[in-house]
Every structure is written in structure tokens, then in C-alpha cells.
Structure 1
Amino acid sequence: MERTWATNTKNGMGYRSSAATSRRHTSIPCSPAALISECRSTTAAARGLLEKKWGKEKMRGNTASKGENLGEIKIKDPIKGRTKVVETLSSYGNGDIFLILVTAKWNHESQPDYKSNFYHNCNWIEIYEYFDYYLQLWLRFFFFLVLQKFHRDLPPTPVFAFGLSKDTATIPGPTIEALHGIQTYITWRNYLPSKHILPWDPTIPTAIPSTKKGIPTVVHLHGGIDEPESDGLSTSWFTAKFKERGPTWSKKKYHYHNFQHPGTLWYHDHAMGLTRVNILAGLLGAYIIRDPKVEAPLRLPYDEEVDRPLVVFDRSFCADGSIFMNSTGNNPSIHPQWQPEYFGDAIIVNGKAWPHMVVRRRKYRFRIINASNARFFKFYFASGLGFIHLASDSAYNARSVMVNDILLAPSEIADVIIDFSESNSDSDILANNASYPYPSGDPVNEANSKVMKFIIKSHHELDTSKIPKQLIRYPSPNLSSVSLTRYIAMYEYTSEIGEPIHLYINGKSYEEPVTETPKVGATEIWNVINLTEDNHPLHIHLGLFVALDQTELVNADEFKECMLKNNDAIKCQVDKYARGKKIDVPAHEKGWKNVYKMMPGYVTRIIVRFSYIHSNESYRFDATAEPGYVYHCHILDHEDNVMMRPLKFIK
């Protein structure tokens, strides 16, 4: 397929799940002004209802009996003028009043009933403080088999996609935006067919229904600080209509607290042994937590047009438009299908291959998510235009940092500003020059070296957004508070023909008993020893960490031989070997992260914190509950086979 820039559409990116629609989580083509008008009508009615029931002076301290319906509010449909009844206020006891706007349902034309959400355009912060109650957002998300057009020269592609209805499901799925402190409840519903659209390998540890029918799925909110029951553990999978469920499945409705620091997250499939194929098929999307009190004073670019995610990944396609995945493994006598890495020829951004975007000559904020299975990206502009780096993964940097290029491993996130007013051209190309596999694989080619094109309008305009030097400073990691030091070793095992057959952490498969049992609230040092030839992006569920340094192993073959025999870094005298070249952590990656690149032949020292970084408060859930958490390599083909270990917290 020849690389051409995808046709631009009115939403600016050529994909349906743009910020213009998905931020409101609604498929109704209504204007932001209409939604804001409805929000104001609803909040005014809610205020009036409570004042009438309790009086202004009594509202803050009032309690209501459990289940008491506090009233109904009628407002007008901003699209067709119909009257809508909102079950607005009800109590769940203990004096906590919950405002639930999303129980109301629209029913326009052929669209099915669904739970609408208008909170994004409402001034909920003012109301939250005024009434002193909690806000909740309830959503239902579905997984569908749909057709998506990735490129003008390709037939539509069968994919698995998230959406509020089959008609609106896309890759990536809708961008979910939450406000700090407003809890989100999502019921993830599986409407996938009985058979997969991609080849999968039953010889690796895999979620397989007893009936051999149905596609197991489970959703993980990557970067979320939430209860273990809602973390999307690989063995908590379920098939269509919850007919079959994994051994650790416990609930349909997931609870995301959104009490953590503001930042960019993403949600994706996490089913045991199927993560690589389910994400490759399309089960992924962006999730943003905003905290206006903290972020508004920064005056960064903010509205639907100039602040948006860029979800980037690679795919290969067959002539009929279907996704191509090699159905023969590199060790077919051992694993008939499993390959150590998947790489595609086409670069996809927000659901389009090599798209273009028309931009104004001003600052834009892009939250770049590398959602590839195994491909690293080293982003740069052909013209030399730079990036102002704001945040790594889910957390802001303490200071903004200007960089000329950005290396992103799979699942890493770079939150950046690009100032197109600095460009001397009418267009620019976002390019990539990361070898694959990274770092010692093939160089990029004409197809996968290009990411997307920006067409820059000629008119200069007044831009009131800012790029502050100081961003959000969280407490620095405190070495004196470290309670334990761990050694985490990464291994790759090969067959007689020298091809990988599986990858382990600490020489153990996932099913072996848990060995990492941190205390809730603890701070630990993890020395991650990469004994393979690949760079492995390590992701720790629930934990946040700061990379301290990376030290090269000398006489690495000798040390590796000892480790393969004893699997004990201390017994093998790791300090004797970890005394080579030191690599400093780049300035823009010195903050709190949930993924970091573990260089091959190096020991990477990270300080891990199992608590909030923005607050001294305890978790708002029991992190010691079943089924626990995991940590793993985020190269999905490695994670599936089976570079992943359980993580269980103790009090």
C-alpha cells in the first residue's frame, strides 16, 4: 500500500472518535453551546430543588435516608425541544448525596437508549463545593466487531472496537474525560463474535473458555490508581454477555476513583495470553483525568481543537483490508503461532494511516500515546521544530522541557506542546527513526519512518495560552524512606535454533506463587536487571516510580551465566558487574512514571512508591484485596508469553 496522507475531515483528524464527540461520550451531533445550556439548566434546577427541600442554610449538613429519591428535574432536549426527566438526586446514606445526571436517556431516531454524560462542559467544581456531595459518572461501554476505514486505498477493515453503540464504535475507542474526585463507574460489555479475527496461540498461558466459544476480554485502565477488583487482572476475563468468566472475575461494573493526580491514561484489553491480539484487533482508547484547580493556573492550551490525544500504533493489512498477522510462529514446533514481536508497515494515528491535520499557527497540546504491540517510536519533526515536554505517562513534570526528539516505548505517553507559530513552513511531517526491534533491529523504511503530516495555516493569530517554566511539583522520592530493595531480573529463553520460546521475570512464570508483596504506602528500590538483547518497557500496576540511573553490566555473559544457574542477583554479586558506563535519565523523564525503558545489558534503578504522589491520604480502596495486581513488560508479545508476575499488597 502506497503511503498517502489520509483525507482530512471536518473534525480535523479524519477519525470519528475525536475530542469533539468522545469527550461528551455521546453520538448525538449537537453543539457544545447546547450542551452547556443544558448543564446550566440542570444545575440551576438541582440547586433550586435542594433549596426548596432543605433551605439554603441546611443544605451542607443535611443527611437523607438511604435510597430516598430527592426529586425529579425536567429540562428540554437541546436537539429537538422534547422534555426530558432526569432522576437527579438520590441518597446512599451516611450523609453523602450523589448527583447522577447520567441516568437520563435520549432516544433520537434509530439510536438506542444510552446513558448520556454532559459533565465535561459543566461548571461542576463550583457546584461540588457548594453542595458538598460526591459526583458520580455511570457509563456502559461495549466491544463490537465493526468495519473501519483506515486508508482511502484500503477496503474497510474488520476490527474490534469500543463504543457506546455499534454505529459509533471506533479505533481508538471514545476518549473518556474525568474530573479529579468524580468517580467513574463503567460496565464493560462484550459483544464480540464467537471466533477471533486474528490467529492466537493456545500453547502459551491463555484465557480459554471451557466451551471453546467466545473471545475473552478484560479492560485495564493503564495508569489508574484503583481497587484490584477493577484493575483488569488478566485472569478476570469474561466472554460475551458474561457467559464464561475467568477464575478471578468478580464484578461487571468497574469503579475508577479518579482521586489521583491529573494526567493522561489509556484503557486497553488485558486478557491472559490474548492481550497482543485483542489490542491489535482494536480494543484501546484514551482516558484523561483533569483537575481544573491545579491545571487552570498553568494556562496551557485547552479546548477541543488544541488539546487532544494522538494514539499512535502500527498495523499491516491484507489486500482485502483485513489486519495481517503472521499465523506461523518462529518456533512452530513449540508455539505454532506466537512471534516475539509484531511490527506493522503502516503507522496509524487516531484510526487513520498516515493522516494529515490542518492546524492554526499557534500552540497545540498533544497527548501522544504509543499503543503499539512492540514498536518504539523516536518522534521528531523533519524541519527541526521542537516539542515542549509537559508530562511523562500520567504525571506532570516539575518543569517544562524543550526537546528535539522523543523516544516512546510501547504504552509510554508524552504530553507535549507543539508551537506551530515557530514554523517557517506551511507544512511539517512528524517522523520516526527508531529501529525495530529496539534498539538493535532494522532501521526504519519509507513507510514506517513517517507518522503524520501537519498542514499549517498561513495566518498568524493571537494565542493567549502559555508555556510555564514551572508546572506541578510533586514530592521528590525520598531515599531515606525506602523500606526494601528488590532485584528484578529479565530473562529470554531460546530454542535450539536460537529463537525465543518465552520470557520470564525473575526466572518464574506468571502462575508461580507471588514473590513481590509490598506494603501499602511503602517506598522501595527496584534494581531491574535486563539480561536480554531487547529494551523492555516495565509497567507496574498501581505503582508510580522515578528512574534514578542506569548502569552497564561488565562481563555481562559471565554474570548472565551465573544468573541462569542461580537466579539470585546477590549470590551472583551483581555489584561486582554493575560498574560500567552510567546513563543519565533524560531531563524530561525524571518525574513520576508508570513505565520505563529497561536498557539491555544494564541495571536500571528505580524508586517505587505505592501511594498517591499528590496527597498524603491513604488509598480510597483496599489495595490488599483480591485478586491483586501485576507488573510486566509492556511489549505485548512478551507480556503474553509470559513476562509478567503477580504483585500482592499487604497491610
Structure 2
Amino acid sequence: MKMKKFVNPLPVPPLIKPFNKTKSLTSYKVTMREGRHKFDKSLPPAIIWGYNGIYPGPTFEVRKNERVEVHWINQLPRDQFLPVDTTILPPEQQKVPTGISIVHLHGGKTRPEFDGYPTAWYSRDLEFVGPEFVTDVFQYDNNQRPTGLMYHDHTFAITRLNVYAGLFGTYFIRGKEEDKLNLPKGKFELPINIHDLSLNPDGTLFYPDQPDPNPSGIVPSVVPEFFGEFMSVNGKLYPFLDVEPRKYRFRIVNICNSRFLSMRLTSGQPFIQIGTDGGLLKKPVKVEQLILGPAERADVILDFSQFKGKSITLTNNANSPFPDGDPVNNNTSVIMQFRVTLPLSRKDKSEIPNQLSKFKFFKESEAVRIRDITLDETLDQFGRLLLLLNNTPFDKKPITETPELNTIEIWRFINLTEDTHPMHIHLVQFQILYRQKFDVELFEGTGELEFTSGRIPPDPNERGFKDTVRANPDEVTAVIARFGPFSGLYVYHCHILEHEDYEMMRPFEVVDEDEE
């Protein structure tokens, strides 16, 4: 199937309005339901699952420390319309319909009962609920650095299908520090949700029902990764955006299931990155090539003032799987186009300040513990690829990661696989300490960690707060975080959704010694 590029205007998801607002609480209702969506003007509408029935969901815009309540109402059909592999479902999920969901505010400092624990799912009208279910009315304190978060489905073993079907959206936290900066805003600030997808000839979403080859013979069967045939932004294939010759702020999210993005602009201009997953950097960073793994975000400014009358394409050249898999093709090497065709509506008074934010870096000496977590690749009983953390399935007891409330720990991800994994830790915003190459064969044989390089510092545009980090093959990736402000049960996992759904996820419990 061939698709014409740059014929769809870039859509902007609508801002959601609260149904009630008091001094102490802002209340929203969001209904998860089936909808119809056109991915391209030439295609008929396709079935999607969306928050409020739209793809992507509406955008939240809240203030730091604003207490927010969201009633996440499940009105999805009884069963998922994409192929569900029942062999990877836990026993309690095999007895219920597959139209279940639970929402995770990705990057949010959230109480455990509102974090979207994978087995806290619930069905339409709460007819069925998972073992960790507490409520479908979530509270978010927003007591964290202003940043761009995302919200998405987090249901055990079907996250990859629910997110692919459209259950994702953007959540902005605003604050005084950002208000004081004269950054582009209003219509000059836009979310850019990049998602690869495949379509059937009738324009409906295609998701494979088995890997190729399929040693198990099981259909439907989980696939090791999913790489879509086409690139979409905010729900449209290869859109274009008409812009003025001035500065714009783009909040870029990689919402692909498995695909990494390595992006450039055909104009040769740099991305001026001002923020990461966890908010503003200390200073702006010029980035020629912007790499984002699934769930990573970049807050960037693009200056079109020197490109009046020009068309600039946002390109991608990341191999799949990353970094050494198949190269991009004509469909996956381009994402969208900026057309500098609009007249300047008013003088551009926005600025890119030299100093963006002030924050402290954690010191290694502050850490009370170092935890080592291996990223492992093996085969399941059917001969299918199975990825694990510390060679341990999700539900195996006991919980091995139990940081004490408000203590600082270093977690080292030891990647024994051939691919890069975007590792996400719930609850915290961490800082990357370093990456370091090591002797994989020696480690696999003896468990001895012998480094073969010095410490590689994080990239300049990673030197802020992060909730997702690229853990590269043959490297140890060390991050440091304070585990708080809440105690309770959370998870950490690979954010390649096909890996997360099939065991590359483990619980951790933040323990409050005062409660015991």
C-alpha cells in the first residue's frame, strides 16, 4: 500500500476542560471508548480505541501542585479488536473479556493506587476488576517539576494492543519557572506524538497475529517487536504544518510500540533542546541528530526565521531493532514536513534563554545502595523470544527491589541482549550517571563485571531529569534517583511494549520504615 506524503494537515489534540473546579481540586471525566478515525484523507475511517473516543486522547494542561482528579471511565467494547495472545495472560485475565484497561501517568510522581499498576485493570462498568484494583477515580498531586508527561494504557499483557489502538495522550504540568521564560507559547507550542503503524487496504489498523517465523505454531501469538509500515504524527500519516518564519516550541513524544527514532531536519538546522522527560535542562543544547527511544520525550525549539518559503522535512534513520537492525525505507525515513509559508503574524519576541532552570545533580556518595539489574534474552516453552529482568518473570515472589522511602539509590542496567532497551522506572525522575562497556562473555560465564571502557557520560541533552533511559547492548547504564515521595507498590520495565507485555517488567516496593 502506497501513501502520499504531506497531504494531511497536522492535527492538534484538543485541550480537555474540567467539569468542576474548586480552590482545592480540579475534576475531569475521561471515557475510554471505541471511535472512528481517519489516518489519511484518502482512507475511510478506522476503528480505534481512544480517551473520549479520539486518537490521540485530549491534552491535559495543569499547574504544579494543582490537585487533579480524573474519573477514568471504561466504556470500551467487551473485547479488544486486535489479536490477543491468551498464552501470555495470567490466570485471572484468562477468565475475563479483553476490553480491560488501567491508566498510567508516565513520568508522574503518583500514589501507588493511582499509578496504573498493570494488574489493577478493570472492565466496562467495573464488571470485572484485576487483583490490584483500587478505584477508577485517580488523584494526581502534580507536585513535581513542570514538564510534558504522557498518559497511556498499562494493562498487563495487552498494553501493546491498547496503546496501538489509540489509548495515549499528553499531560502538561506548567509552573512559575517556565512562566518567567519567554518561550514560544500558545499556537506556537505544539505536541508532536510520533507513532508508527500499519494499515489494511481498507484503512483499518493492522497488527500481526504471529511472528515470522512462528516456531510455536500458536495463533494469535505475541511478536518480539512491532515496527509499523508508516509514520504518523498526532494520528495522521506524514502530516505537514504551515509555520511562520519564527521560533516554535515542539513537545516531541516517541509513542511507538518498539521503534526508536533518530531524527534530523533536511534544512540542516539543529534542534535546540530545552527539556527532557522530567522538565527543563539547565541550559539549551543544540542537537543535530535527536535520538528518542519509545516513551522518551524531548522539549525542543525550532527556529524557522531563516527559512522563509522553504519546506523542511523531519527525517528518521534509526535501524529497527535499534541500533543494528534493518535500515529505514522510503516510508519510515520521513515523519512530517514544516512549510515556512505563513506570513509573520506579529514580531517574534520569544527567546531561548542561556539559563533555563536550576537544579542539583545527585552525588554518587549520597546513594545508600547500588542495585544491579540484568537485561536477559531467552526462549519460552514454545521457542519464542522471551526477555526478562534479572532472569525473573514479572510475578515471581519475592519482590527483590525494595528501596526505603526518600532514600537515594543507584540502579545499574546490565544489558546482555543485542538491542537497546528504553528502561522506565515508575514514580521517580532519575539522572543518568554514566554508561560503561563491559565484557559480556565473562559476565555470562562467571557473573564478574569487568569494564572494558571508561565511564561514558550522558549525552548533553540527557543531563537533566529522566524517567526513561536507553540501555545499550554491551553496556552498563547507571541511573540515580530518590525513591519518594510515596511508599508502596510500583513497577519498572522496558518500554518496548512487546517486551513489557511479555515479562520484561518487575515490581518494586518503596518501603516506609515508619509504617512497619
TM-score by structure 2 length? Answer: 0.94
> 1:239 aligned to 2:100?
no
The CA distance in 2 between the partners of 1:588 and 1:141, in whole Å, is 34
Q: What is the DSSP-based 3-state SS (H/G/I as helix, E as strand, rest coil) of the residue aligned with 1:145?
A: strand
Q: Is the 8 A contact 2:261 2:291 kept in 1?
A: yes
For 1:326 and 1:380, the matched residues in 2 are separated by 30
1:470 positional shift? 0.6
Gapped runs of 5+ residues in structure 2? none
* Matched residue count: 508
CA deviation map 1:355-413 (0-9, x unaligned): 01111111100000000100000111012021110111122101111111100000000
Computed over aligned residues only, the root mean square deviation of the Cα atoms, in angstroms, reads: 1.9
Counterpart residue identity of residue 3, structure 1: M
Paired position in structure 2 for 1:273: 157
Q: Do 1:207 and 1:216's aligned partners in 2 also have CA atoms closer than 8 Å?
A: no
Name the structure 1 match of 2:474.
601
Give the Cα–Cα distance (whole angstroms) in 2 for the partners of residues 408 and 267 of structure 1.
18
Alignment of structure 1 residues 37-436 onto 2, 5 Å: 102=18, 115=19, 134-163=23-52, 169-206=53-90, 209=93, 211-291=95-175, 293-303=176-186, 305-329=187-211, 330-333=213-216, 336=219, 337-423=221-307, 425-436=309-320
Conserved in 1, the CA contact under 8 Å of 2:197 and 2:229? yes
Alignment partner of 1:624 out of 487, 500, 504: 487
User: For residues 214 and 314 of structure 1, what CA distance do their matches in structure 2 show?
Assistant: 23
- Three-state SS of the structure 1 residue aligned to 2:319 is coil
Higher helix proportion: 1
Further displaced range: 147-156 or 223-232: 147-156
User: Which residue in 2 is equivalent to 1:486?
Assistant: 371
Q: Write the letter of the residue equivalent to 2:502.
A: N
| Runs of 4+, deviation exceeding 4 Å | 6-9, 206-211
Superposition deviation, residue 533 in structure 1: 0.5
Q: Deviations over 1:443-499 (max 9, x none)?
A: 1000010100111126455101110011112111122211001111110103699x7
Note the C-alpha offset of 1:212: 3.5
The 1:283–1:332 alpha-carbon spacing in structure 2 relative to 1, beyond 3 Å, is farther
Larger radius of gyration: 1
From 503, 506, 513, the counterpart of 1:645: 506
Q: Distance in 1 between matches of 2:89 and 2:451?
A: 33
Paired residue type of 1:306: F
CA contact (8 A) 1:134 1:182 kept: no
- Other structure's SS at 1:229 match: helix
Q: Give distance in 2, aligned partners of 1:456 and 1:116.
A: 40
2-structure distance, mates of 1:415, 1:579:
34
> Secondary structure at the residue paired with 1:232?
coil
Please state whether the residue corresponding to 1:422 is helix, strand or coil.
Answer: coil
Report the Cα offset of residue 553 of structure 1: 1.5
1:106 alignment partner in structure 2: none
Q: CA deviation at 1:6?
A: 4.9
Instruction: Name the SS of the counterpart of 2:88 in structure 1.
Output: coil
Counterpart residue type for residue 5 of structure 2: W
Q: Give the Å deviation of 1:210.
A: 6.1
Q: Is the 8 A contact 1:385 1:423 kept in 2?
A: no
C-alpha displacement of 1:135 = 3.0
Given that 2:424 and 2:493 are in contact with CA atoms closer than 8 Å, whether structure 1 keeps it comes out as: yes
**Residues 427 and 586 of structure 1: CA distance in aligned 2, closer, same or farther (over 3 Å):** same
SS in 2 for 1:316: strand
Once the two structures are superposed, residues 215-259 of structure 1 have per-residue CA deviations (whole angstroms, 9 ceiling, x without a partner) of 111000000001000000000000111100000001121001111
* 2:483–2:510 Cα contact (<8 Å) kept: no
Identity %: 36
Deviation, structure 1 residue 207:
7.7
Q: 1:146 to 1:448 in 2, by over 3 A?
A: same
For residues 349 and 260 of structure 1, what CA distance do their matches in structure 2 show? Answer: 28
Shift of 1:500: 4.6
Q: In the aligned structure 2, how far is the partner of 1:519 from the partner of 1:430? A: 44
Residue 589 (str. 1) matches residue 487 (str. 2): no
Contact 1:487 1:529 in 2 (8 A): yes
Distance of aligned partners of 1:209 and 1:503 in 2 relative to their CA distance in 1, 3 Å threshold = closer
The 2-side partners of 1:116 and 1:332 are apart by 54
Q: Between Structure 1 and Structure 2, which shows a larger proportion of strand residues?
A: 2
Asked if 2 retains the 8 angstrom alpha-carbon contact of 1:204 and 1:335, the reply is no
Cα distance in 2 for residues equivalent to 1:395 and 1:583: 23
Q: Deviations over 1:307-349 (max 9, x none)?
A: 1211111000001111111112354527541111001011010
Between the aligned partners of 1:546 and 1:365, the Cα distance in structure 2 is 24
- Per mean C-alpha deviation after superposition, the further-off stretch among 326-335 and 398-407 is 326-335
Query: Structure 1's 201 and 496: CA in aligned 2 closer, same or farther, altered over 3 A?
Result: closer
Cα 1:214–1:602, aligned 2, differ >3 Å: closer, same or farther? closer
Q: Bigger CA drift: 293-302 or 344-353? A: 293-302
- Give me the TM-score of the superposition, normalised by structure 1: 0.75
Matched, 1:5 2:33: no
Alignment of 1:553-572 (within 5 A): 553-554=438-439, 556-562=440-446, 572=447
The SS at the match of 1:295 is helix
The code of the aligned residue for 2:125 comes to K
State which drifts further: 399-408 or 499-508.
499-508
Q: CA deviation at 1:201?
A: 0.8
1:475 aligns with 2:336: no
Match of 1:573 in 2: 448
How far does residue 425 in structure 1 lie from its aligned partner after superposition?
A: 4.8
Match of 1:634 among 483, 488, 495: 495
